[in-house]
Structure 1
Amino acid sequence: MSGDKQVYEPQAFAGRRWLLPSALIKEFDPDPDRAGRTRRTVRDWVVDFSCFVLAVFIGLLAADTLRSEDLPQGYAVLDQVLGALSCAAVWLRRRWPVGLAVAMVPIGFISNTAGGAGVVALFTLAVHRPFRYVAWVALADVALIPLFFWLRPDPDVPYVWALVFGVLLTGAIVGWGMFVRSKRQLLLSLRDSARRAETEARLRAEQAQRLAREAIAREMHDVLAHRLTLLSVHAGALEFRPDAPSEEIQRAAGVIRESAHEALQDLREIIGVLRADEPDDSGRPQPTLAALEALVTESREAGMKVTLDQRVTDPAAVPASVGRTAYRIAQEGLTNARKHAPGAEVTVAVTGAPGEGLSVVVRNPAPEGPVPHVPGSGQGLIGLTERATLAGGLLEHGPTAAGGFEVRGRLPWG
């Protein structure tokens, strides 16, 4: 040694330590975390009692064979005492599966009446521990079988057949225990998969609900922003011009009343969608591109100067989702122009054909004179951009070189 300290890697050693028989020594002591956490159920009590009865039954059968063997009286008594203690130790098989199985290897070699407890211990070890633990104990049992039958031969069974029977019995016990262990692990895996599937389904349902609420919120903004802007603009006009002619006041009051009525009706429709237990029986269909002329007419009646350039031959032939998105783009453009450029002439141009796509452009020049402040958050254009993207299209908006504002949407039309 040169004086350098040799460094051991615990993790690397832990992966290979099961190769050593000394690794079984750790299993003699119970796992404190495991021992204080599990309790026997009614099924566990039934199984443990059955195992105890089986060990006692096999021990009694072995006790009858002691009479046919030429054994000293003291050794026969020791055999039976060890068998009784082994049967009582079966109740500890859940807490110390490895310790009990290892202890039964020398005891089973000495005591013939402890064979039933050894069978139960080996089976329990195969059920509750990995195969590396079972292999050491099973190999030890198999190695002692020839010596056991050589020292204590069975007068009714030939030596070779006794060896074959002992080896086959040990293999059958190990195989049965490993089968039960695999079945339990499969059931646990299926339960875990079921719980994970339920969690994923719940998360998907929550995500779908959140997306639906966001879609309803965008729809509510698109529907109500147009109506409420009319209310705000005309109410502001009445506030700033209290001495306006009675005809203008009457017309503004009519627009306010009609816009309030339409806004309330739209709000009722959206609330009806939110109520899952109540059917939506309003009967009002969602607007499409065919309703664009009615929107422009409504804006003109409210005092706006709107020019509609409709170059789509058959608006009803436009797919409903595409037409609804185009309608919302035009509606949002008119709403913004009414708020930020009152009195300016707004141009709405719609062009397109099947296979070429649908284009919607809303443009207004710079406003003339001071503009009354109308609150706005800009969420309408953000929502429209997302709506157009989901539809497979594109939405652009921003100021023009002349100081105006332009909203341009491009939507697919297959």
Structure 2
Amino acid sequence: MTLSVFCTLMALGLSADSGNVHDLNLALGLMLNLGAAVALVWRHERPWLVLALTLAGPLFFSTDATAALIVLYAIAKTERGERLAAAAIAVFLACAVSLTYDAHRTRDNSVLTMGATRPEVGAPKPEWDIAPWIPWFVAAVLVALVVGGAMLKHTRSELAEAEHSRDVATEQTSVMRDEVIRTEERTRIARDMHDTLAASLSRISLFAGALQVNGADNPEKVANTASMIRSTAHDALDDLKHIVGVLRGSASAGARPSGHQGIDSVAELVQSARAAGLHATLFTDLRPGDVGTVSGHVTYRVVQESLTNAQKYASDQTIRIAISGAAELGIRIDIRNALSAQPPTVPPGSGSGLRGLSEQTRDIGGTLNAGVLGTEFVVDCWLPWYA
């Protein structure tokens, strides 16, 4: 607004000093341009109304078109296409008319000729020696600069906003990805611990059953069984504490309460099942350290889940476990037991343990199939060697 008022006063001063403009023309031009300068406050809210006000002065009176250029700058930042073209043409005409008025002033009072070479002293002073196209050319340059500057600023603002939105989206994606990874890891650990607890509780149930049967006949066996119940319950409690820690996010996802459960722990796992009263045989030609850590852990989990299911549904049958493999062939796990004629000691489960194992083996590129084959329940699993 200040710039518009300054330019208006300067243009009217030059016109008055030139002496070739009527006083009424100057007065009306001053009032219109001062009103337009005040209206510039609302150029962003009502740009077209303000533009109409700013065009009245320079189109019909000897005054400047600075206010119209300011409004055009505001319009060019938001409008495109035909609306912007219409505004630019209107302001161009206003500027051209205003500069034509300026060109018709005396040489010393024309903005277009102030920098021109002055006549020598005593030589006649020309009143107007500018080519008719110059005011129109200057008007076109002014409009082009204003529109180009506004569009450039708008483009930079859009680029900055897009970059900010991209950074925000990248940050949100990173946070979501980290949360998904944490959730998947917690789910995996919780699934492992669930299966471990299920195995521990199944052994406790079998120990308790043996204690009930042999309690009166063999005091020494009662003591041993009670000790195994206590040890198994203690391990199960540690596992449960770890589950709670994982789900709360306070425990390390990679930590396991019972140490590393890999291929070297399978024999101990089978021995524990035997102590619980399960008939189990184990054949393996793999040695600790031969296979990858993840493959070893999944092998342990397959054996553990199979022993748990046998304890639940075929505790009177022998479960045969065979684990073999080589670096170029992978790991083959074959576990089978005859179907029991006795009713299961527990209600049928949901099958989540086997489904979870199937997901684990698939995640590392292996396969797992489990089901009834003839008169046997068979678990057949293949795992990569170095996973």
Change (3 A) 1:97 1:64: same
1:222 equivalenced with 2:195 (yes/no): yes
Instruction: Tell me, yes or no, if the aligned pair for 1:288 and 1:320 is still in contact at 8 Å.
Output: yes
Q: Give the TM-score taking structure 2 as reference length.
A: 0.84
Matched AA of 1:56: V
Deviation of 1:55 after TM superposition, in Å, equals 1.1
Change (3 A) 1:250 1:368: farther
Change (3 A) 1:371 1:79: closer
Deviation of 1:343 after TM superposition, in Å, equals 2.3
Q: Secondary structure at the match of 1:316?
A: coil
Of 353, 367, 377, 1:405 maps to 377
Matched AA of 1:57: F
- The 2-side partners of 1:104 and 1:133 are apart by 17
Change (3 A) 1:221 1:150: closer
Deviation of 1:327 after TM superposition, in Å, equals 0.8
Instruction: Tell me, yes or no, if the aligned pair for 1:101 and 1:125 is still in contact at 8 Å.
Output: no
Which range is displaced more, 209-218 or 197-206? Answer: 197-206
Of 76, 91, 106, 1:155 maps to 106
Matched AA of 1:162: P
Q: 1:212-251 residue pairs with structure 2 within 5 A?
A: 212-239=185-212, 243=216, 245-251=218-224
- The 1-side partners of 2:210 and 2:236 are apart by 20
1:167 equivalenced with 2:140 (yes/no): yes
2:184 corresponds to which residue? 211
From the CA coordinates, give the structure whose radius of gyration is larger: 2
Q: Secondary structure at the match of 1:295?
A: helix
Residue segments in structure 1 that go unaligned for 5+ positions in a row: 1-51
1:331 equivalenced with 2:304 (yes/no): yes
2:6 corresponds to which residue? 57
What per-residue deviation string (whole Å, max 9, x for no partner) do you get for residues 262-287 of structure 1?
22233344455556556788885321
Q: Secondary structure at the match of 1:407?
A: strand
Deviation of 1:228 after TM superposition, in Å, equals 1.1
Q: 1:9-408 residue pairs with structure 2 within 5 A?
A: 52-67=1-16, 68-143=18-93, 146=96, 148-150=98-100, 153-156=104-107, 157=113, 158-159=130-131, 160-239=133-212, 243=216, 245-271=218-244, 273=246, 285-312=259-286, 314-373=287-346, 376-402=349-375, 404-408=376-380
Residue segments in structure 2 that go unaligned for 5+ positions in a row: 108-112, 114-129
1:17 corresponds to which residue? none
Matched AA of 2:66: G
- The 2-side partners of 1:200 and 1:94 are apart by 36
Deviation of 1:106 after TM superposition, in Å, equals 4.2
- The 2-side partners of 1:150 and 1:269 are apart by 88
- The 1-side partners of 2:267 and 2:32 are apart by 101
- The 2-side partners of 1:98 and 1:386 are apart by 65
Q: Secondary structure at the match of 2:77?
A: helix
- The 2-side partners of 1:240 and 1:374 are apart by 22
Which range is displaced more, 184-193 or 137-146? Answer: 137-146
- The 2-side partners of 1:122 and 1:307 are apart by 90
Instruction: Tell me, yes or no, if the aligned pair for 1:86 and 1:114 is still in contact at 8 Å.
Output: no
- The 1-side partners of 2:362 and 2:24 are apart by 93
Q: Secondary structure at the match of 1:317?
A: coil
Identity of aligned residues (%): 28
Count of aligned pairs between the two proteins: 361
Matched AA of 1:61: M
Instruction: Tell me, yes or no, if the aligned pair for 1:59 and 1:113 is still in contact at 8 Å.
Output: yes
Q: Secondary structure at the match of 2:340?
A: coil
Deviation of 1:400 after TM superposition, in Å, equals 2.2
Deviation of 1:306 after TM superposition, in Å, equals 1.1
Q: Secondary structure at the match of 1:343?
A: coil
Q: Secondary structure at the match of 2:370?
A: strand
Q: Secondary structure at the match of 2:325?
A: strand
Which range is displaced more, 404-413 or 248-257? Answer: 248-257
What per-residue deviation string (whole Å, max 9, x for no partner) do you get for residues 339-366 of structure 1?
1111211100001100101011211112
Matched AA of 2:380: R
Change (3 A) 1:283 1:257: closer
1:21 corresponds to which residue? none
- The 1-side partners of 2:32 and 2:250 are apart by 73
